[in-house]
Amino acid sequence: MSRIAIPSVDASPAASKPLLDAVLKQLGVVPNLMKMVGNSPAALEGYLSLNGAMAKGVLDLQLRERIALATAELNGCDYCLAAHSYLGTNLAKLSDAEIAAARGATSADARAAAALRFAQRVVAERGHVDRDDLAAVRAAGFDDAAVVEIVLNVALNVLTNYINNVAQTDLDFPAAARLAA
């Protein structure tokens, strides 16, 4: 059971209701994460604004979902692994093999693999990557805008990983299978 309240949309603060209605319109459902973050209308607005902005960036949906999976795996966020496995399959159209690979910060696609290795280093080093890390992602074809967006996508996912890990948010997506050791 979640350690932070997950109110229904109707029981959410008034300022969160239009934001949650927009989530419902976009996704067809309001995930528990959104309802829980909606306890703070400011937090929900900030999260949704950054998430919306990143969707307009240079990184495509498939890479953003791969970054979300790699980050969730590194941070041990069961909720985000479940959500992004579902979204990766159903929205980004990633194969089961690519979802598993992304969780290990790799991909059959060399460019995506370079971005995931960089994202993994950003998480592991808390942003203190070295020149070689930056050179490798640039060599894979990522310019400064893309590098900034990889870092911001990592940060966005760390945010949700941490709130879900603190709250132990009740799963409303199918649980992600454990990776083989």
Residue type at 14 in one-letter notation: A
Report domain extents, the chain.
Answer: 1-56, 61-167
Instruction: Report the C-alpha gap between 92 and 87 in whole angstroms.
Output: 6
Residue that has been written with the tokens 């080093």 in this structure = 125
Instruction: Report the C-alpha gap between 143 and 57 in whole angstroms.
Output: 12
Average pLDDT over residues 68-77: 97
Residue 80 neighbours by CB under 8 Å, 6+ apart = 68, 71, 72, 157, 160, 161, 164
With a cut of 90, say whether residue 7 has pLDDT above it.
Answer: yes
Angle at 157 between CA 156 and CA 163, to 5 degrees: 95
Angle at 120 between CA 107 and CA 123, to 5 degrees: 155
With a cut of 80, say whether residue 180 has pLDDT above it.
Answer: no
The per-residue pLDDT for range 112-161, each reduced to its tens digit, is 999 999 999 999 999 999 999 999 999 999 999 999 999 999 999 999 99
With a cut of 80, say whether residue 12 has pLDDT above it.
Answer: yes
Q: Which fold has domain 61-167?
A: AhpD-like (1.20.1290)
The per-residue pLDDT for range 43-71, each reduced to its tens digit, is 999 999 999 999 999 999 999 999 999 99
CATH entry, 1-56, from 1.20.5, 3.90.1690, 2.40.50, 2.60.40: 1.20.5
- Looking at every residue in the chain, the average pLDDT score rounds to 97
Q: What is the pTM of this model?
A: 0.96
How sure is the predictor about 181, in pLDDT bands with cuts at 50, 70 and 90? low
